Amino acid sequence: MSHRRNVWVLAAALGAGVAQAAISPADLHLERWPNATTVFNKPIGVRHANDGSGRAFVLEKCGKIKIVSNGSVLTTPFATISVNCSGNEQGLLGLAFDPGYASNGEFYVSYTAPSTGQHTLERYTVSANPDVANPSGTLIMSVPDIASNHNGGDVQFGADGYLYWSIGDGGVQGDPNGFAQCTGRKKADGNPASCYDLSGSGVTYYLLGKILRLDVHATTASAQNLCGVASGASAPYAIPPSNPFANAGAHPNDCAEVFNWGYRNPFRFSFDRQTGDMLIGDVGQDRYEEIDFQPAGSAGQNFQWNACEGFHTYPGNAANCAGPAGSVPPKIELSHSGDGVCAVIGGYVYRGPIGPLRGQYLFSDNCSRKIYVVANPAAAVSPWSFEILPGAPGISAYSFGEDGAGNVFVTDGAGPIFRFASDIIFANGFDGAAH
């Protein structure tokens, strides 16, 4: 049974939306992990290699990946990546282990490049020592950026075996260039209607305000609508055939790498490991935050920015924003004024050892210091109802994470990491915290 030292009991209180059943289990709480004194340097994620080792990998914003094994942080980092972490939203932003990592030793990182600030995706491999990666990686893609913020940067493998990578709209407030809605290339000309127009001087931008989907287990000789490489060049990835703009004949000017679009800053997203559904936290402008939902197996979608901010029009504040034709509204909206939020932190659908918590979606916000729980994140209704867990230990949430057993973690930008736990005893004799 877990000890309740350094634990804050999280009794459920009703949040926004329609009332729902009380959060289960009633004694759900957060406990410091891996112990009560461990502090990381700006931890921005917790990942696992799905290799049966039981290890967890902690990303630190300024470029280190550390291993937690058997309750201790290993002295030598697993990897050290050279990144630009000078801005609040720059640095090492994502880590995804290949589904075949146990046999191929490959993993992927996303970060802001130290000299250019560009969005960068690289493949690395583990060395002969399973706790240390080889020092250099292979570039998969580099995407030009226009400002230091709105970087997105999360990377995850879906159940389909493809790699998903989120990138923000470039960082200029309000997205006046229309990058999020342009599915091709364009200039920073202040004219959203100029998508595909490459005339004039200056940098050509692409793939901003998107979630990309790549087949990183294959390559492409060349294709007209590959935006991540120079025109006519080969690519170290292939395009999944069901990407919405995969067909170059039908979409010669659109970017084949795009899966979803219409995002402001999809900083953290995740897949439900049981259903394959995707849940995305898109950081809002100055009034509303949102959680978006992509059902497993569905086609790519437009999530409305910058026509809409949450359920409201942008600019302005009219409710029930229609968005562009065929676009999809969010499942949750949080208000800066009403809910005290500033930057939503997308989390995970819990599939870990705490039986009563399984199937519920956990997420947070960087300013509200609250943990939110959605009882049924597969519900067809919109908006989803959620509850707030009061009594949490003043966490300035930075990110969420998941280990191989399905435990969910929330990281505090100041350094601590917490794990969701329960004192419930299960039939196998283990409780949620000790599993």
Preceding amide of 295 cis, omega within 30? no
Question: What is the pairing mode between strands 92-97 and 106-112?
Answer: antiparallel
The model's pTM = 0.93
Name, in order, each residue with C-beta under 8 angstroms of 108's C-beta and a sequence gap of 6 or more.
Answer: 94, 95, 96, 97, 98, 121, 122, 123, 124, 140, 155, 163, 216
Question: What is the pairing mode between strands 13-14 and 387-389?
Answer: antiparallel
Number of Cα atoms under 13 Å in the Cβ half of residue 359: 9
The whole domain housing 155 covers 38-337
Of 190, 300, 154, residue with least CA distance to 179: 190
Whether 393 is in a domain gets the answer: no
Exposed, middle or buried, 427 (CB in 10 Å: 0-12/13-18/19+)? Answer: exposed
Whether 12 is in a domain gets the answer: no
Whether 409 is in a domain gets the answer: no
Name, in order, each residue with C-beta under 8 angstroms of 291's C-beta and a sequence gap of 6 or more.
Answer: 279, 280, 281, 282, 330, 331, 332, 344, 346, 363, 374, 384
- CATH number of the domain where residue 274 is located: 2.120.10.30
Tell me the one-letter amino acid at 163: L
What pLDDT sits at residue 21?
56
Whether 160 is in a domain gets the answer: yes
What pLDDT sits at residue 385?
93
Q: Write out the chain's pLDDT in tens, 435 residues.
A: 333 333 333 333 333 444 445 788 988 889 999 999 999 999 999 999 999 999 999 999 999 999 999 999 999 999 999 999 998 899 999 999 999 999 999 999 999 999 899 999 999 999 999 999 999 999 999 999 999 999 999 999 999 999 999 999 999 999 999 999 999 999 999 999 999 999 989 999 999 999 999 999 999 998 889 999 998 899 999 999 999 999 999 999 999 999 999 999 999 999 999 999 999 999 999 999 999 999 999 999 999 999 999 999 999 889 999 999 999 999 999 999 999 999 999 999 999 999 999 999 999 999 998 999 999 998 788 899 999 886 667 789 999 999 999 999 999 999 999 999 998 744 344 544 444
Domain count, the chain: 1
Whether 403 is in a domain gets the answer: no
Whether 432 is in a domain gets the answer: no
Whether 287 is in a domain gets the answer: yes
Whether 392 is in a domain gets the answer: no
Q: How far apart are CA 123 and CA 26, in angstroms?
A: 42
Residue for token pair 């707030």: 388
What pLDDT sits at residue 421?
93
What pLDDT sits at residue 222?
87
What pLDDT sits at residue 231?
87
